[in-house]
Every structure is written in structure tokens, then in C-alpha cells.
A and B are shown apart, each in its own frame.
Chain A
Amino acid sequence: MTSAYKLALAATVSLGLATSAVAAPVLGQPAPGFTAKDGDGKTRSLAEFKGKTVVLEWTNGGCPYVKKHYDSANMQGLQKSATQDGVVWLTLISSAPGKQGYVAPGEAKTWKASTGAGSTALLLDPAGQVGKIYDAKTTPHLYVVDKAGTLVYLGGIDDKPVADPASLKGAKNHVVAALADVKAGRAVSTPASKPYGCSIKYAE
């Protein structure tokens, strides 16, 4: 391969990334594909879970809004019941190296074990590529993709956009509702809500 060809290829690839990063994901449209490495250094992709309902959860262990759901074991409970139901739950960390919440490849397994997470996989997105493709803004920020690969929910985990753990009581969990709708073959009644929490610590 000549260097000019390599350069052209690199330019095409980065252009492709740039354009897909600009277009925000659209409800009712196919969820954008992506690849990311898990704690074992293995490359995982959305495509490998075709035919299954997939939940994407952006997280950051130091974020008070994430803590509200993890310290109360609310999130882990959701993950476990969903995965038992055959749902694939992918937790993503898009904090850039040097930024708050960054998890190095070697620490990913420890992170997952220490939180007692029940998700299918923890995926690392240090370059923020997946986060930008999905226009993910906050931690937590959740997306639900149905079995046909269509994006059916995007937004917050529930309707109480505060960090106070007391707010869990009486909160309407949008992800639980969306998964129930998908399972029952109904249209998702609340397909979008305000994502709330800390900003994702992308590279500047």
C-alpha cells in the first residue's frame, strides 16, 4: 500500500466518522452501528447482538447521578432482571484519558466487579467515538434498541432528574417501561425523555 493510498484511506475513514458523529441518532431509525473494546480487550460490536433487544447505558463511577442508581443497587437490579429476560445490556464509559471517570483497559474488569454490575459487557470508549455517534451527553444516558435494530428509546433513566437518592422512590423508570413495551410488542409509550446527570467527560 502506498503512503498516498493510506493517507486517502485514513481521510475517508475519518471523514466517515466525522459525518456520522454529526448526525444525531433518530428514533424509529436503525440504531447506528459501532465497535468498542471490552475489559478483556476484545472488540465487541452492536452487530453481534442482532436479533436481541439491546440497552446502552453511559456511565461514570464518580458521578453523583450514577451513584444515586448504583449505591442504591437500583441500576444493578435493572441490569440483572433485563439480562435474565434475554436483553443485552452494554455499559459504556466515554471519559477520555486524563479526564474524570476514565477507566484504563486493565481496570475495566475490576470496575465491573466492584460495582456488582449485572450488565452483559462494560465497553470502553476513551476516544468518545461511540458517545458522539449516539450524541450521548450525560451519565447516566440510556438508549434501547429493539430486536429489529431500531432505536426505540433515548434519554434519562427515569423522570426524577436529581442526584438525591430519596428521589428513587416514586420515580417512573423510563427504561423499565420501554423494555416492557418492547417485550409486549407495543410501541414505546415514552420514546424520549430528558437525559440528566453529569456531562460526559469527552476529550476537549
Chain B
Amino acid sequence: MTRFFAQILAALVVLTAFPALAQPVDTGHLVAELVARDATVTPGATTYVALRQKIDKGWHTYWRNSGDSGEATRIVWTLPPGWTAGDIVWATPQRQPTGPLMNYGYHDEVLLPVAITVPASAKPGETVTLKAAAAFLVCEEICVPEDAVLTLTLTVADGLAQPDPTWGAAIAKALADAPGPAGLTGVFAKQGASVALAVTGAALKGVDLSEAYFFPFDSSILDHAKPQPIERGPDGLTLTLTPGYAFQEGAGPKAMSGVLSLGDKAYEISADVGALPAGASGLGPPPKSSGGDGGSLSLPLAAAFAFLGGLILNLMPCVFPILAMKAASLAGHAHDRRAAQAQGLAFLAGVLATFLALAGALIAIRAGGTAVGWGFQLQSPPVVAGLALLMLAVALNLSGVFEVGTSLQGAGSGLASRQGLAGAFFTGTLAVVVAAPCTAPFMAPALGWALTQSAPAALAIFLALGLGFAAPFALAAFVPGLLARLPKPGPWMDGFKKLMAFPMYGTAAWLVWVLTIQAGNTALARVFAAAVVLALAAWLLGVAQRRHAEGGKPLVLTGLGAALSIAAIAAAVWPSYGGPQVASTQPAKGGAPTVPYEAYSPEKVAAAQAAGKPVFVNFTAAWCVTCQVNEKVAFATQGVADAFKETGAVYLKADWTLKDAVIAAELAKHGRAGVPLYLVYGAKGGDGVILPQILTEGLVVRALKDAQTR
């Protein structure tokens, strides 16, 4: 009987332990209630109780600083003797613009936790009732002051506090999300009509600052409705604020405090008047994040763009030699569908693996804090020299000087062998490496977006790009109709292959030109010497292969060829190259009209705009073939030269042939990961207009004339 009684009692305790007495009150435009983090509380401990506001749709309540109007929620507690309540732990507010005004507050639902200290004298088993008179202004267009007297019953128990099954997790999360100090240093200074607030610290390094916003605790500090332009620095950020009336009195405030929100995270900061630290600025505004205005993309859309961009990349000028290789390779197995399909898949695998490897490297380098973008590998002279030799080797191979992985007799028939598959994979790799300096339409916004995203999202974009790039070749291998249309293999193929060698020689020559721009004329002698040695090595290997085919054992020849080729590549790659000898003077080639230009800097853009001149900025690189084609097709024309003269436009070139943090930042600001990028700034100020990546004479002329009046 006593046992039965004890069970009933235990059940009662469990029932009462549940904060059943939290009666919600509908005050008209919201439902208010007190909710507890802990189902039972421990004597001498601190627990949290929250005021929950479930706010009607379209209505809102206010933060501790309500902004231009409104009033913060207040709570007056009536507690049993010995119990004390702390201040409200305010969640990061939302901005609520109304007409020309700005308010700070909450909509939908908010938890406002308050620390409650349980006295050590509280007796386990007792239940206590907390009473809170809550008053709040609820506004839609109109405002209604509402209030409610709310109660909550807590059970005191020994041992660890038990989390409340309904609200425990939510209140714990509200407390964790609430902005707290993070060791950030704040300094502010009046600068003309504005106030610059610089915040530095570890929590601001390497994070997305595009949503940064300062919510001041004191409503007199700022003009809340004004935008807060963001400037990044290596150690933090600087916000340009519009001062409130507090700055009209005497020397103005000596300190300010508030919440710095980054969108997903927020920190409490306090700032003193002082000299602004250098590390809080200098890197320009943050790149636009997704969800921002204008060029915002979603992952599926960005992936679709990347796929399209990849497809179009096949048609871009720098990929032509690779197209040639693909064509030769595909024509080689047109007679054998299964072999062709295996080749297609191997090529696809090669393309995807290389794209992902490049993307991984790019993400890793950026995570390390270096501003690099698409085509970054070509900013390194040893890589360019190495690639030039590789192109030469491929060209020599196509010319028939030596063979890769096939016997002479088997050329064109034994390609479905394992070596043939490796060859297709290698072709895919090579295609990506050479295609990297080109960005195609659609691809640029997708890549720009990818580099501001998390690593998995960025990799997904590169994957889509690779799929698009490999799609024509891989599909051709699988669609019977297409394959059948290709000419039948025969002796003509040998001639075709040798013809295709010449685009490769051209690519090698182009890479050497890029190298001279990066590393000066002395590099020319070195890379040519390496090229001659490599050609000799290739010939020796070819001779050895022929002897082998005749049944000989040309060990010495093979060894010599291999050694020479290794020496050639080593000499091209190491030791490191010097810089360009002369700052590349303007190539005044006879006949072609040229437009005088200056090296780009953001200050020059501002200065020209201040002088009422339009500005054309050409973000280019020697290794970017699309850029070079545009230079020839659009810029080296009489029409463009005349248009520059007529409009008085300033022509600035941002040369990204070598690494440059300022240019990388500017590209990122416009949502781009690489060149080309063409920006036209209007004569009357304002932001630049982005031109398409493929330019024509007429397009540039129109853009300049338009900028003159803009």
C-alpha cells in the first residue's frame, strides 16, 4: 500500500516538475508566456526563464534600442524572497525599415531569456511561482502598447537541473546565439560628416563580412536609417556610419557600444574614440554574397551556368588545340563503338579529376588567405614554362617524332588498350590545364559565386563545369549517329594527326610569350634551350622505339632520351625566374591603332570620375586568350581609338598576368574569379557597368558613349 502511495507521489512530482503553470496570454497582437529552460532547478544555481513572444503576422516588437521609433520590451519581476532576476539577454535584432525610418526589433517569434538566481536556501521539493509584468509595444503600421502579467511555476530539486522537455533546447540555443563579447577591439573616429568604426580581432578573420552591420545600444549615436558601407582589412573591418544627434553636443561621445552582426553570427563590441588601426581597412568592400542583390545565384542556377559555361569553353580560342587533339583521338576509334565509349568515359574522368584537383587547390590556397582566382596556376612562371614544354612534347608526338604507349604498327588500331585509356584520361587532364586561363560566358558568374561559398558548394560548381566541358566529346562517343558520321579511319588519319600538331606548336609558342611577359627576355633563352634539348630527347626516344619495334634492345638510347627530357623540364622549372625587366611598355605595333592606357588602381578610377571623365577598366592577363582576342578584335580598331578620344575616357588596364591582391579583390567585388572583366564607369560617378566577356568594336564604342552621359 505504501509502495502504491509512493508511486502516486512520484508521478505527482513528475507532473508538477513540468512547468504546467505557464499560462500564455494573448495581449491582442501577440501571445506572451514565460517558459523555463530547466524543468527542475537546483538551490544556489542560476537558471534561465524566457519571455516568449509569438507575434502576429505583420507585427513586430522591439530590441533594447528600438531604433528611430518604438519601445523596447520591459519586464518587472515579482519573485519570492531570495530569488533575483537579471537583465534580458537580447537576441540579435532584425532591421525593420519603415519609410525613411529604421527600427530594430523582432517579428514572428522571439525568446528573451532572463537569468534567475535560485537562493541556496530554496528547499528541494518546493514549488515557487515567478511573476513577471511584461510591457511591450507591438507595431504594424500603427503601434499598440500591450502588457500581460505572466506566471511560471518552478520546482526546486536536488542534483543536476533537468532540461525542460519543451523549451530547454530552444532557450539554450537562444542563449548560445545571443551576441556576446569575442575579444574584438573597437575604435571610432569622426571623419567629416561620417563616423568610421573599425573593429578588429580573430573572430573577423577569414569570414564573410558582406552582411556586417552595427546595432548601437544607445539610440543617439547613429542615424539608424543610413546604410553602413563596409570596408575589409586583414584584421577586421571598418563601417562608415552616419552620426546621430549625440555627435552634435560638444565633442561628441567618447565611447559607443552595441552589437556587430555578421548575419549568421553577432558579437557584442565596445569602441573608444581613437586612431583607426591600419589592419581594419584596405581590402575594399566584401564580395557580394549569395542572397545579396543583383548577381545573386542559387546553387542549382550557378551549377547550370557552370555547365553551360563548360560547354561553351569548348569553343573558346584557348581550347582550340585541345579540340584538335580530341578530334584526332575520337576519329581514331570511330570504327569501334565500345572502344570509343571507353575513351569517352576515360576522357570524362580525366576532365573531372583535374577540375576537382584544381578547385581543391584553389579553395585550399584561398582558405590560406591568399587572394587567387581562376587561372592562378598560370600566374607562376615555372608552371607556364613547364606547360610550354609539355605542349611541345605533345606536338612532337603528333608530328610522329615519338609515340606514347603504342607500337608503330598498332597506331590507330590498338588504342582501346589500357594505354589508350590512360591516354584519353591524360587528354582530359591536359584539356583542363590549358582551358583554365579561359573563362567563357556563363562560367564567370558561376565561378565567382562558387568562390564565395562553402567548399562542397564550390566543388559542385567545378564538377558541373567539368561535366559541361567534357560533355560534347563524351556524348559523341555514346551517340551512335554522331560516331557514324565521322569519317572512316584510314591512312588520311596520319596526315590529320600531323596537321593537328601545329596548333600545339602554336600553343607552346604562346606560352613562351606569356613567360617572357612574366619573367622577362632572359627567360626566353632558358626556355628555348630547354625546348631544343627536349626535342632532341624526343627524337632519341623515337629512334629507340623504332629499334625496339625491329627487335633491338636500345637501352642506351632510351636512357639518354629519358635523362635529357628530365633535364630539359628541370631546367625550365628550376631555379625560379626573375621579374619582368621593364614594366611592359606599350606595344606600338606598326599600323594598328592603339589607345594609351595607364595601370589600374581604384584611386585612379575615383580621380577620373571626380574630373568628370568616363573610365574603362580592362582586367586582363597575358595568359588569358579570351583577353588577347578581345584586345585585337575590339581595342586595336580605329573606331574604339576614336571613341576614347571623343569621350575623353580614361583607359586603365589591370594586368593580372602575375599575382595581384588588389586586382583579385576588385574581381571578387564584381563576383568574378578570373579575367577578362570589363568595367565602364560613368562620367558622373557611380558604380561600373560590366560588359560582356566577348567584345566587339561597336559594343565598346557604345559603352563609352553611354558612359559619357551617365
Interface residues, chain A, CB within 8 Å of chain B? 24, 26-28, 62-65, 99-100, 128, 132, 135, 137-138, 154-155, 161-164, 191-204
Whether the pair A161, B71 counts as a contact (CB closer than 8 A) is yes
Residues of B near A197 (CB, < 8 A) are 69
Whether the pair A199, B220 counts as a contact (CB closer than 8 A) is no
Whether the pair B101, A192 counts as a contact (CB closer than 8 A) is no
Whether the pair A64, B248 counts as a contact (CB closer than 8 A) is no
Whether the pair A137, B101 counts as a contact (CB closer than 8 A) is yes
B437 to chain A, nearest CB (A): 46
Whether the pair A155, B245 counts as a contact (CB closer than 8 A) is yes
CA distance A192 to B221 in the complex (A): 12
Whether the pair B245, A202 counts as a contact (CB closer than 8 A) is no
Residues of A near B137 (CB, < 8 A) are 64, 163
**Residue of A with least CB distance to B100:** A202
11 extra A-B contacts, CB within 8 A, seeds A199-B68, A199-B99 = A24-B223, A28-B248, A64-B144, A137-B69, A138-B69, A161-B71, A164-B145, A192-B246, A196-B71, A199-B143, A201-B99
Residues of B near A155 (CB, < 8 A) are 245
Contact A99 to B249, CB < 8 A, known contacts A137-B68, A137-B101, A199-B103: no
Residues of A near B74 (CB, < 8 A) are 162
Residues of B near A63 (CB, < 8 A) are 142-143
Residues of B near A162 (CB, < 8 A) are 71, 74, 135
* 8 Å CB interface, B384-437 against A: none
Whether the pair A202, B71 counts as a contact (CB closer than 8 A) is no
CA distance A195 to B141 in the complex (A): 18
Whether the pair A198, B143 counts as a contact (CB closer than 8 A) is yes
**Residue of A with least CB distance to B224:** A137
Q: Which of B98, B101, B145, B245 contacts A163 (CB 8 A)?
A: B145
Most chain B CB atoms below 10 A, which of A63, A154, A197: A197
Q: Which of B69, B99, B100, B220 contacts A192 (CB 8 A)?
A: B220
11 A–B contact pairs at CB < 8 A? A26-B248, A64-B144, A64-B145, A155-B245, A192-B248, A194-B220, A199-B70, A199-B139, A201-B99, A202-B100, A203-B99
The reply on B210 being an interface residue by CB < 8 A is no
Residues of B near A100 (CB, < 8 A) are 141-142
**Residue of B with least CB distance to A196:** B71
Whether the pair A27, B141 counts as a contact (CB closer than 8 A) is no
3 nearest CB pairs, A to B: A199-B69, A202-B99, A163-B145
* 8 Å CB interface, B200-250 against A: 219-220, 223, 245-246, 248-249
B112-136 interface bits toward A, Cβ cutoff 8 Å, 1 = contact, 0 = none: 0000000000000000000000010
Count of chain B residues with a beta carbon within 8 Å of a chain A beta carbon: 25
**Residue of B with least CB distance to A191:** B249
CB-based A-B contact count at 8 angstroms: 77
**Residue of A with least CB distance to B245:** A192
Whether the pair A62, B145 counts as a contact (CB closer than 8 A) is no
Interface residues, chain B, CB within 8 Å of chain A? 68-71, 74, 98-101, 103, 135, 137, 139, 141-145, 219-220, 223, 245-246, 248-249
Most chain B CB atoms below 10 A, which of A27, A28, A194: A194
Whether the pair A154, B245 counts as a contact (CB closer than 8 A) is yes
Residues of A near B101 (CB, < 8 A) are 137, 199-200, 202
Q: Which of B68, B71, B99, B143 contacts A204 (CB 8 A)?
A: B99
Most chain B CB atoms below 10 A, which of A26, A63, A137, A196: A137
CA distance A138 to B139 in the complex (A): 13
B193 to chain A, nearest CB (A): 9
CA distance A179 to B139 in the complex (A): 33
**Residue of B with least CB distance to A28:** B248
CA distance A24 to B142 in the complex (A): 25
Residues of B near A154 (CB, < 8 A) are 245
Residues of A near B246 (CB, < 8 A) are 192
CA distance A63 to B137 in the complex (A): 11
B679 to chain A, nearest CB (A): 28
Whether the pair B135, A201 counts as a contact (CB closer than 8 A) is no
CA distance A192 to B248 in the complex (A): 8
Residues of A near B71 (CB, < 8 A) are 161-163, 196
Residues of A near B100 (CB, < 8 A) are 128, 132, 202
Residues of B near A132 (CB, < 8 A) are 100
CA distance A127 to B47 in the complex (A): 52
CA distance A132 to B98 in the complex (A): 14
**Residue of A with least CB distance to B69:** A199
B49 to chain A, nearest CB (A): 23
Whether the pair A198, B69 counts as a contact (CB closer than 8 A) is yes
Whether the pair B69, A62 counts as a contact (CB closer than 8 A) is no
Residues of B near A195 (CB, < 8 A) are 68-69
CA distance A190 to B71 in the complex (A): 22
A65 to chain B, nearest CB (A): 8
Q: Which of A27, A62, A138 contacts B68 (CB 8 A)?
A: A138
**Residue of B with least CB distance to A68:** B145
Residues of A near B68 (CB, < 8 A) are 137-138, 195, 199
Residues of B near A138 (CB, < 8 A) are 68-69
Q: Which of A24, A64, A137, A202 contacts B143 (CB 8 A)?
A: A64
CA distance A99 to B143 in the complex (A): 13
**Residue of B with least CB distance to A27:** B248
A202 to chain B, nearest CB (A): 4
Whether the pair B249, A198 counts as a contact (CB closer than 8 A) is no
Whether the pair A201, B145 counts as a contact (CB closer than 8 A) is no
Residues of B near A135 (CB, < 8 A) are 223
Residues of A near B98 (CB, < 8 A) are 199
CA distance A193 to B143 in the complex (A): 21
**Residue of A with least CB distance to B145:** A163
**Residue of B with least CB distance to A29:** B248
Residues of A near B69 (CB, < 8 A) are 137-138, 195-200
Most chain A CB atoms below 10 A, which of B103, B139, B142: B142
Residues of B near A192 (CB, < 8 A) are 220, 245-246, 248-249
**Residue of B with least CB distance to A154:** B245
A47 to chain B, nearest CB (A): 24
Residues of A near B99 (CB, < 8 A) are 128, 199-204
B160 to chain A, nearest CB (A): 40
B121 to chain A, nearest CB (A): 35
Residues of B near A99 (CB, < 8 A) are 141
A154 to chain B, nearest CB (A): 6
Most chain B CB atoms below 10 A, which of A163, A201, A204: A163
Residues of A near B223 (CB, < 8 A) are 24, 135
Most chain A CB atoms below 10 A, which of B220, B245, B246: B245
